[in-house]
Every structure is written in C-alpha cells, then in structure tokens.
Structure 1
Amino acid sequence: MGSRRKHPRITTELPKELVRAINERLVAGETYESIAAYLRERGHDISKSSVGRYGKDFLSKLERLRIVKEQARTIMSEGKDGPALEMTEAATQLALQLIMERLVTAEDLRDAKSSDILKALALLERSAVQREKLKMEAGRMIEAAVGQIKESLRVELEKSPEVLARLVGMVDAVTAEMREKQ
C-alpha cells in the first residue's frame, strides 16, 4: 500500500484565504464533491479525492482539538488549586498527553524530530517545577500571614485569654483547611 502524501495540494497550492474557506465548508458539513466544485469555480483543479484526504485529516484534528478542550475543562473543574495553577496543570497534562500520542504512532515517530520532543518535555518539566515552587511560596505566605494575625490578636486580646484562645483555634482551623486544598 502506498504512503499518503504529507503535503496535500490544498495546503501547498491554494492561497490561505481559500484554505480557510474550505475549512469553514468542512465544518459546516459540505460534501467533498461540493467543495471540489467550489474550487473548480475558482480556477483550481483539485479532485474530490484530494479534498477528501485533506478533509479527513482536518476533521480528525478538529475532533482531537475538541477532545483536548473537553479534557481541559474536566481537569480544571476537578482541580484543587487556584485558577492559575489549574490552567497550568491542565495545559501540562494535555501537552504531555499529546506528546505521548505523537510518540506512540509509528508513522509520526519516523517524522518526529527528537530534539523538538525533548525540548517540549523539558518545557513541561520546567512548568511542573515552577508550579511546585508557586505552591511552596503560597504556603510560606499563608504561614507568615497566620503568624501576623495571631500576634495581632494576642496583643489586642491579652486581657481576654479565653476569647484569644477561641480566635486562634478558628485561625488554625482555617489554616488546616487551606493546607488540605493545596
């Protein structure tokens, strides 16, 4: 069986505006035959089969993108960190998944540039390290704020030790709850 062309005529011969129009028509559900007729009307002799090959790849990529978006939404909705960390975690997990999918396919493995893959993996690792540093820094900031609050309460409530003890207990409970969410 012959190998498929890596650069369809649509992406190599047609202007970008026309490729965008083809993409829109594919998303709208037009047939390959009608898209080929549309191209012939504009002076481009691209066969229905060529449109079909391009359309299959395009729609496959579009579907993968939809899946990735849905996965990102799911990761973010189940995340326990703040919004910035959720986005970073979602992006890291999805990027790693896409890299692994690319490595798994034998055809892509032949085409993949190992240096590009290694760079992508290094970026993901760096992102994970930065995220952990951010979590640690947030923890230190919480500890410092809790210490300041307790000291301020102690100074203000020295005359009412039972009230001070209850307030310190409340602050400790909130602190423990925040740590669990980290």
Structure 2
Amino acid sequence: MAKERKKTRISSKVDELPPEIKQQVDIMLTDTSNSYWNISDWLKAKGYEISKSSVGRYALRSNSATQRLLEAQSRTEALVNVVKKNPDADYTEAGMMLMMDGLINRLATAEEEFDYLPLDKVGRLIASLSRTKVYKDRVKQDMKDKADLAFKEMEGEIMKTIKSDPELAAKLKEILTRAKEMMLSDD
C-alpha cells in the first residue's frame, strides 16, 4: 500500500524574511508600478538573495488569500444585511447556499490540491446539504398541504353557517382565499 502524502504548509524565502522587511515587500506588492524584478533587486540590496520568481509566487499566494478573505467578508456582510432587512426570514437556505458556494469554489480552485483534497468528505458534505434541502422542501410542502386542508375545512364550516346570505358568503370566501395566498406565499 502506497504511503499517503501529507499536505505541508507552503513556506517561501519571503516568508522567512524579518517582519519589517516582509511588511515592506507586502507594501511594495500593492503598488503596481513595482515589478517583481524591482522588489527582488531591492531585497538583494538589503542582503537577501531572493529571485523574482520567488517574489512572484509569494505575491500570487498572498493575493489569493487576500481575495478569499475579501470574498468571505463580502458574503458575510450581504448575509448580515439580509438578516437586518428580514428579521422573520428563514436563513437556513442562505446558510446552505453560502456553504455550497464555498465547497464548489474549493473544488473549482483546488488545482494541485486535488492530490490531497479528501473528495470523499466533500462528497459527503454535498450529499448532506442536498438531503437537508430535500427535507426542508418536504416540510414546506407538508405545511402547505396542511394549511390548504385546514382552509378548505374552515371554509366549508363557515359556508354552512352563512348560506342564508350569498353576498356575505362571497366576501368571506374572497377573504379566505387572500389569507390562504398570503400564508402560502414564499415571501
């Protein structure tokens, strides 16, 4: 049986720089007028032999991490705004959508990580989310069916009681229909 390779944390020469030098490299990377050559030359002048390729790989990793953080922050802010605007809404759907989005993004951007990504676990998470969605939809449909049955029974009883006044019966039926539509709407 082959030995399973363990995923190790990436560490580059830039990561090993003193904090103040690394911070300066990060600042230089945010300025698009600085090329990787310029940063490499600046580091060499400071006594650190780091190639332009190493600077470039570090920039790609740090930009990717920053982008993921910004996207997560944006999604969280959007969810918080939805919660503020709709305090009575069902947030399980939004939470499941965020989780599914994260899983799909992880699969889509895994590239060389596929060798180490436990796909069976990701598959189980996706299946679990799908089961949760099916269960939620089933509960919602059951509630609609029960509400429909209750309104029909209530309508029948009320109609028996007010049969003597057809105009009142028509108005009441209209009110019940509107109430049922409001209760069963997805809003």
Same fold (TM over 0.5): yes
1:93 is matched with which residue: 71, 93, 97? Answer: 97
Q: Does 1:169 align with 2:178?
A: no
CA–CA distance in structure 2, aligned partners of residues 76 and 132 of structure 1: 21
Who is 2:89 aligned against? 83
Question: What TM-score does the superposition give when structure 2 sets the normalisation length?
Answer: 0.57
Given that 1:102 and 1:109 are in contact with CA atoms closer than 8 Å, whether structure 2 keeps it comes out as no
Structure 1 residues 145 and 166: alpha-carbon distance in aligned structure 2, compared to 1, 3 A threshold:
same
Give the superposition deviation at 1:163. 0.5
Who is 2:9 aligned against? 6
Structure number with higher helix proportion = 1
Who is 1:15 aligned against? none
For 1:6, give the aligned amino acid.
R
Give the superposition deviation at 1:156. 2.9
Given that 1:88 and 1:131 are in contact with CA atoms closer than 8 Å, whether structure 2 keeps it comes out as no
Alignment of 1:145-156 (within 5 A): 145-156=150-161
Who is 1:33 aligned against? 20
Given that 1:75 and 1:90 are in contact with CA atoms closer than 8 Å, whether structure 2 keeps it comes out as no
Q: Deviations over 1:131-155 (max 9, x none)?
A: 1112101211210221232133223
2:107 is matched with which residue: 66, 84, 103? Answer: 103
Structure 1 residues 139 and 78: alpha-carbon distance in aligned structure 2, compared to 1, 3 A threshold:
farther
Alignment of 1:105-120 (within 5 A): 105=109, 106-120=111-125
Q: Count residues with an aligned counterpart.
A: 136
Overall identity of the aligned pairs, in %: 16
CA–CA distance in structure 1, aligned partners of residues 85 and 138 of structure 2: 21
Deviates more, 1:129-138 or 1:143-152: 143-152
Structure 2 unmatched ranges of 5 or more: 1-6, 12-18, 24-57
Aligned CA-pair RMSD? 3.7
Q: Deviations over 1:38-93 (max 9, x none)?
A: xxxxxxxxxxxxxx99xx587555434312313434666899xx623xx1211121
Given that 1:72 and 1:90 are in contact with CA atoms closer than 8 Å, whether structure 2 keeps it comes out as yes
Task: Choose 1 or 2 for highest CA Rg.
Answer: 2
